[in-house]
Amino acid sequence: MRKPRAANTPIDAKRLKAWTDEFGAYRHAVTKASIESWLDQFESGDRDLGARVLDAVDFYGAERIAAGFRSALSSLEGWDKSPSQRQGRWRFVAFSGSAGKSGDAMLHQFRLANNLDGKNSDAMFIYRSELINQKLTEDDTVVLLDDLTSTGDQVTEVWDEHFAELVAGTGRVYLIVVVAGNGARKRIREKTELRLVPCHELNQKDCFFADDCKHFSDTEKTRLLHYARIADAKLPKGYGECGYLLVFQHRCPNNSIPVLHENNSKWRGLFLRHD
């Protein structure tokens, strides 16, 4: 979560431009008009609160994601830019239970970020179904890619159902994610053989409704919860009650507060998850 501007900062042209510049790359267009329409859903006394929520949104555009992926790969044991200096064989795979999920998008961005998009790197990037035929050994490495693990629960499920047997006997199996939430590392370490490598980690300060979040008062948290219940009565604090203000360029995770992404007859989010 980013630090928002002070309360009652004018919502002027400069502030609106800062938001459109920041969020303009989102998969569904975020414009001056759509921001103003989103803010208009707040009562007049809460419009400032809505603006401060936008200030605090932690947005991950392509360059930020790429920089994280470059740093993560360079930190892995046995990796080297020069193929002759690498330890064993390396395979990179989307960490997804089915095709077309976020892992596929992250695998593509990871490949581009690390200049591994040439034909000479094709053999390293494979589908999950191809792992069984690779005959990997304890000298080899598998790197799995995804954008977010909030609690580690979904990771453990996907690991058990789709990956555990396929990588058995492989020396090192990493999971690189753009963002990991509070507690994910511990759960993944206890329940899987994965070595979690997050580009960024969130803590309780990043949960809007947590006591540790000091950017917003208790009164503001109560008022936002009112709007969050309009947006999603079942999950007003987001999936897992994470309460994130997290948005990726390619999607807004459902762990983020629903006022950001939900779309129904009573509320229209700014960062829509679906068409």
| Structural domains present in the chain | 13-56+203-260 (no CATH), 62-201 (3.40.50.2020)
Average pLDDT for 119-137: 94
Provide the pLDDT for residue 100.
Answer: 57
Determine the 3-state secondary structure of 36 from DSSP: helix
Following DSSP, what letter does each residue of 147-193 receive, concatenated?
EEESSSHHHHHHIIIIITTTTTT-SEEEEEEEEE-TTHHHHHHHH-S
Q: Are 135 and 121 in contact (CB under 8 A)?
A: no
Chain mean pLDDT for the chain: 95
pLDDT value at 199 more than 60: yes
Is the separation of the CB atoms in 237 and 206 below 8 Å?
no
- The stretch 125-134 carries a mean pLDDT of 94
Task: Answer with the residue of higher pLDDT: 101 or 236.
Answer: 236
Q: Which of 171, 186, 121, 114 is nearest to 145 (CA)?
A: 114
Q: What is the mean pLDDT of residues 120-141?
A: 95
Residues 180-188, mean pLDDT to the nearest whole number: 91
Per-residue pLDDT averaged across 187-196, rounded?
Answer: 95
Whether 39 shows a pLDDT value over 70: the answer reads yes
Q: Mark residue 42 as left, alpha or beta (left: phi above 0; alpha: psi -120 to 50; beta: remaining).
A: beta
